[in-house]
Structure 1
Amino acid sequence: MINKRVVVFVSTLSFSQNTTAGYNRIINYAKALAIHSTTVILFSFYGNFNDIKDLEKISDNIYRIKEKIKAKGSYLKFIFSLNRIKKYLKNYNTCFILYPTSKFGADIIFLIIFKIFSSNKIFLEINELRRAYPKNRYPERTLYFKFLRIIKNLIDIFFYKILEYSSSFYNGILVISTNLYSYYSKYNKKILLIPILIDFTEKKNNNLSSVKDSFNIGFFGTVSFRKEGIENILLVIKNLNRKDINTKLFLYGPISNVEYEYFQEWLKKEDMTNKIFYNGILKHDVVLDEMQKMDLLILPRPHNQQTKYGFSTKLAEYLISGVPVLVTDVSDNSKYIQDGINGYIVHDITPAGFEKKIIEILKNYEKTKYKITQEAYNTAKKYFDYRLYAETLNKFLFD
């Protein structure tokens, strides 16, 4: 049953069996809206809407457009399908929210056809991709591919600049960080900051296991050596073990072919195959279980454009895991993490800075871990529970 108020999330993300940070953020938005009896429909570039039978219920008041397995998607199908759902919802109080990704062609088409030409109520969710995507790709190894990458980056930057200016055409903007709020306020005066979100129906571990033969550090997210600062942590693990501090690193998440090859070569060269492990992509329902096997969870993001404007959604999951968290002083991290109170924060984002901090953590780990993880959980509950933003989000979209 569709209620009087409807929000349609439009994205080039797939909403079928998706475990990305973007998908989880949209789902938490949807849950917040659904609390106030707003119907939410997730519309993917890879879906196809013809009639009500194409709506698949996810939970109360939340639906998604059915997607064919391994569907490639096309711009033409995307336009016609969106137009059909717009006509179907013409008697409802409907607004659309565009969640952008790197497929900026779909974003431009959506804005021109469904806003500029037909005045629909359309909002934009801004993430750090809009400020930094072309700049944070991993460098190519050969001169020819480096040249092609430079040309593609220049083209992407041009289109991203167009998208940046076009944000003034939307009815409003949603952002995840204070830096994005400050930057995009000059383009659109109706703007709402909603930080990283978490669903507190997730379980929490209150029984932390003691450190045994090794101190296990976990990273969960996109395994990107440049954007996420993984390279620094590889060096730290190597240095700690050279000093007979038995430390292991476990990496979970997607990784590009180029970076995976680099990673494997580095492990063999430095003889670290028994200390650093890449364990692939996990299903969402087992992520927390894997986190709770760690002694420390880490977000080693360096200073760059993407980390300046982004805010890692993984932090919210870390904070409710029952495992101490170590983050760098980028974006909004220091607004929520107090060093030694509800987590640990590194200001010197270098291998030496990380090494010094981890040794400091190890000295008092058993004495402080319970208090720190309790404070971390309380912080997440106070700031990141999606229910906190249910009323604000509904009013922003419909008032």
Structure 2
Amino acid sequence: MSKKGKFYILNWIFSYGSASSNRLLAYANSAAELGYDVEIVAFLRLDLRNCQSRNGVIIRGLRPCKVESKVFSKLLSFFTTIWFLLADVKKEDRLLLYGAAEYLPLLVWIRRKQTYFEVTECPDLFKPRTYPWRYYKSLWKRLNGIFVISGNLKQYFVDYGVSPYKVHVINMIVDPKRFESVQRNPNAEKYIAYCGNVNKDSKDGVGDLIASFVRYHEKYSDRKLYIIGPIVSQEQKQEYEEYLRLYKALDSVVFTDSVSPTTIPQYFVDAEMLVLARPDNIQAKYGFPTKLGEYLLSGRPVVLTDVGNITDFLKDGVSAFIAKPGDINCISDKMMEVSANPEKNDSVAIAGKEVAMKEFNSSTEVLKIINLMYK
């Protein structure tokens, strides 16, 4: 394959360990393995925290200094982005803008023919603040291509007048190398794991997860629930704790707060099961849970709700345990099914891992991107 130009992956932030940054890093690593020179560029904030990229991958930020004022910080970011597009990017290079709608006009004005836009959430939820919604929609039609994470999201753009030949589904991806040296600890306590923020507007249905665990805990009182991730809202955490205290389950739930990204695979592999109780809302309809790939890759059984395009990839009782969204009884029943059938769990977990390796393979999905961008 002829290697034409550098592959730039752009976002307003790169924070190692976050789901979005893990996705970008997997893109970069796979493209580098294909022989491309890759740069991940963060417009506004860069947090590497022990991040180790592969040969051929550079990660850098554009912000020259820290500015306290949010307005001046954003203006400075726009200026440094313009300079980057004019001075660093060559005609043979390709640009993949991941979300970051605020920066889309700059790329369309300066590097339209080289720019591709990736969207993993419904745009209705993340409208740009610096220019009109109508103008944002008009930019979509001017792009060479838009990459989306689900069939539902592709249809969203087609319904807004974007040619279906310009909208391409790129599946959620996983990096198997994160789990290669991770061994299950036979002495680990029995626990259920969830990974994500504790926040007021939880898109993952943490409240439903906790309520389901309380019901599950009535039968399996020796199990714990690990909620792995930053405590963004202490107020929300306190509400969860009050609920758990009411049902005498507080001591069985562990809020880990932020943990090192390098330790997360071990948390997953040691868990009895991993649970994702997403509610059926607009975010779930058009998006796809990026953490699901690592859930499946862990080789542990996964309990999740039937939202969006989940059942295009997973089958209940075969490769995962799929529950009705928002139904506490159904979710907790699936959790009990996992604990009651350890032999079945192994076969379901293996099948789930096979789905992740086949359908969410970073090398396969990145090759699709490369072939589209460099054709």
Asked if these proteins are the same fold (TM beyond 0.5), I'd say yes
Range with bigger deviation, 39-48 or 68-77 = 68-77
Task: Identify the residue that residue 178 of structure 2 maps to in structure 1.
Answer: 202
Contact 2:39 2:57 in 1 (8 A): yes
> Which letter maps to 1:274?
D
Task: Identify the residue that residue 96 of structure 2 maps to in structure 1.
Answer: 97
Written as runs of structure 1 = structure 2, the 5 A alignment for 1:161-240 is 162-186=135-159, 187-189=161-163, 190-203=166-179, 209=186, 215-224=190-199, 226-240=202-216
CA distance in 1: counterparts of 2:230 and 2:24, whole angstroms: 19
Task: Identify the residue that residue 10 of structure 1 maps to in structure 2.
Answer: 10
Change (3 A) 1:325 1:349: same
Range with bigger deviation, 376-385 or 217-226 = 217-226
Contact 1:222 1:254 in 2 (8 A): yes
Contact 2:93 2:114 in 1 (8 A): yes
Contact 2:196 2:230 in 1 (8 A): yes
CA distance in 1: counterparts of 2:111 and 2:174, whole angstroms: 35
Question: What is the DSSP-based 3-state SS (H/G/I as helix, E as strand, rest coil) of the residue aligned with 2:203?
Answer: coil
Task: Identify the residue that residue 338 of structure 2 maps to in structure 1.
Answer: 361
Superposed CA deviations along residues 183-235 of structure 1, whole A, max 9, x for unmatched, are 112443211111111112222567574997xx521101233564211112212
CA distance in 2: counterparts of 1:57 and 1:376, whole angstroms: 27
Range with bigger deviation, 377-386 or 354-363 = 354-363
Task: Identify the residue that residue 60 of structure 1 maps to in structure 2.
Answer: 55
CA distance in 2: counterparts of 1:367 and 1:118, whole angstroms: 55
Contact 1:46 1:71 in 2 (8 A): no
Q: How far 1:92 sits from its partner (Å)?
A: 4.8
Q: How far 1:279 sits from its partner (Å)?
A: 0.6
TM-score (norm 2): 0.85
CA distance in 1: counterparts of 2:58 and 2:208, whole angstroms: 42
Change (3 A) 1:318 1:272: same
Task: Identify the residue that residue 289 of structure 2 maps to in structure 1.
Answer: 312
TM-score (norm 1): 0.80
**2:109 matches 1:116:** yes
Change (3 A) 1:162 1:46: same
Question: What is the DSSP-based 3-state SS (H/G/I as helix, E as strand, rest coil) of the residue aligned with 2:6?
Answer: strand
Contact 2:212 2:328 in 1 (8 A): yes
Change (3 A) 1:283 1:165: farther
Task: Identify the residue that residue 118 of structure 2 maps to in structure 1.
Answer: 125
Q: How far 1:82 sits from its partner (Å)?
A: 2.4
Written as runs of structure 1 = structure 2, the 5 A alignment for 1:26-105 is 26-46=24-44, 58-66=53-61, 71-72=66-67, 74-89=73-88, 91-101=90-100
Contact 1:250 1:276 in 2 (8 A): yes
CA distance in 2: counterparts of 1:119 and 1:179, whole angstroms: 26
> Which letter maps to 2:192?
I
Superposed CA deviations along residues 153-201 of structure 1, whole A, max 9, x for unmatched, are xx96995565344322222101111111111124432111111111122
CA distance in 2: counterparts of 1:41 and 1:241, whole angstroms: 47
Task: Identify the residue that residue 320 of structure 2 maps to in structure 1.
Answer: 343
Computed over aligned residues only, the root mean square deviation of the Cα atoms, in angstroms, reads 3.1
Q: How far 1:313 sits from its partner (Å)?
A: 0.9
Q: How far 1:59 sits from its partner (Å)?
A: 2.5
CA distance in 1: counterparts of 2:124 and 2:296, whole angstroms: 27
Written as runs of structure 1 = structure 2, the 5 A alignment for 1:225-374 is 226-243=202-219, 245-257=221-233, 258-347=235-324, 349-364=326-341, 366-374=342-350
Q: Which 5+ residue runs of structure 2 have no aligned equivalent?
A: none
Question: What is the DSSP-based 3-state SS (H/G/I as helix, E as strand, rest coil) of the residue aligned with 1:282?
Answer: coil
Q: How far 1:86 sits from its partner (Å)?
A: 2.7
> Which letter maps to 1:8?
Y
> Which letter maps to 1:42?
I
Superposed CA deviations along residues 125-160 of structure 1, whole A, max 9, x for unmatched, are 1121523358xxxxxxxxxxxxxxxxxxxx969955
Contact 2:115 2:143 in 1 (8 A): yes
The total of aligned residue pairs comes to 359
Contact 2:280 2:325 in 1 (8 A): no
Contact 2:121 2:283 in 1 (8 A): yes
CA distance in 2: counterparts of 1:69 and 1:90, whole angstroms: 18
Contact 1:208 1:322 in 2 (8 A): no
Change (3 A) 1:308 1:348: closer
Q: Which 5+ residue runs of structure 1 have no aligned equivalent?
A: 49-55, 102-106, 135-154
> Which letter maps to 2:144?
N
> Which letter maps to 2:81?
L
CA distance in 2: counterparts of 1:370 and 1:121, whole angstroms: 46
Superposed CA deviations along residues 82-126 of structure 1, whole A, max 9, x for unmatched, are 23333334545112222124xxxxx34x33333236645211111
CA distance in 1: counterparts of 2:65 and 2:18, whole angstroms: 17
Change (3 A) 1:206 1:18: closer
Q: How far 1:297 sits from its partner (Å)?
A: 0.3
> Which letter maps to 1:252?
I
Contact 1:299 1:327 in 2 (8 A): yes
CA distance in 2: counterparts of 1:76 and 1:157, whole angstroms: 11
Question: What is the DSSP-based 3-state SS (H/G/I as helix, E as strand, rest coil) of the residue aligned with 1:303?
Answer: coil
